[in-house]
A and B are shown apart, each in its own frame.
Chain A
Amino acid sequence: GEDVEQSLFLSVREGDSSVINCTYTDSSSTYLYWYKQEPGAGLQLLTYIFSNMDMKQDQRLTVLLNKKDKHLSLRIADTQTGDSAIYFCAESLYSGGGADGLTFGKGTHLIIQP
């Protein structure tokens, strides 16, 4: 079955690193995504990783993928107040025969303390 799990809240101090975790259940996932949503807005694509990779870095963002444990994480270095948002993990299955949509977690609210 398809299920993506995330913690609902994460609180970090400004300037520290934030690590947002996600677990997924379907081993046939092809791509895994991180999206950011600010209040009242749509989803902004942050980064994605193909399932045959184990790490991807893009400026302050580092994505780690552990396929064996079906665990995905997003690390944000030097967290700023502008990083305050909801972060969604999503997987694409595309295993043929299923719908083309993404399966989303419920989102992690990142709260920045001054």
Chain B
Amino acid sequence: DGGITQSPKYLFRKEGQNVTLSCEQNLNHDAMYWYRQDPGQGLRLIYYSQIVNDFQKGDIAEGYSVSREKKESFPLTVTSAQKNPTAFYLCASSPRRQETQYFGPGTRLLVL
């Protein structure tokens, strides 16, 4: 059953803590993306990766970091430098760059 999985569904962060959100896809897609969604807002691009071992900043990369060591996986770390991390985080992938993007189910990050 092909698709994009994100875990966990809910994640809690304490002050000063780094947390990592998982995104895995078994669609054999080259490109992967992370977006942030705030209530009543559209999605904003955090980071994207066109190919393994390569990634670029999106519009709101400050306070976040990513890695792309495997084609299937694109984890996002929300660092303590991100002062307003509470949001819904969505991962997406596309067969190649500039092609249609498909989304995972999302992770909701809450700050304790």
Report the minimal beta-carbon distance from A4 to chain B, rounded to whole angstroms. 7
Contact with B along A92-114 (1 / 0, CB 8 A): 10100001111111110000000
A44: CB under 8 A from chain B? Answer: yes
| A31 CB contacts on chain B under 8 angstroms | 100
Task: Identify which of A8, A30, A41 gathers the most chain B CB atoms within 10 Å of its CB.
Answer: A41
Known A-B contacts A4-B42, A42-B103, A42-B105; the reply to A100 vs B97 at CB < 8 A is: yes
Q: How far is the CA of A33 from the CA of B103 in the complex (A)?
A: 13
Asked if B64 lies at the interface with its beta carbon under 8 angstroms from chain A, I say no
- Name which of A30, A33, A44, A99 has the most chain B CB atoms within 10 A of its CB: A99
Main SS at interface, chain B: strand
Interface string of B71-112 (1 = CB under 8 A from A): 000000000000000000010100001101111111010000
List residues of chain B with CB under 8 Å of any chain A CB. Answer: 4, 6, 31, 33, 35, 40-45, 48, 50, 56-59, 90, 92, 97-98, 100-106, 108
Give residues in A with beta carbon < 8 Å to B.
4, 8, 30-31, 33, 35, 40-45, 48, 88, 90, 92, 94, 99-107
Instruction: List 26 interface pairs A-B (beta carbons < 8 Å), by A numbering.
Output: A8-B40, A31-B100, A40-B106, A41-B105, A41-B106, A42-B90, A42-B103, A42-B104, A43-B43, A43-B103, A45-B100, A88-B42, A90-B42, A92-B98, A99-B45, A99-B48, A99-B56, A100-B31, A100-B56, A101-B48, A101-B58, A102-B101, A104-B43, A105-B42, A106-B40, A106-B42
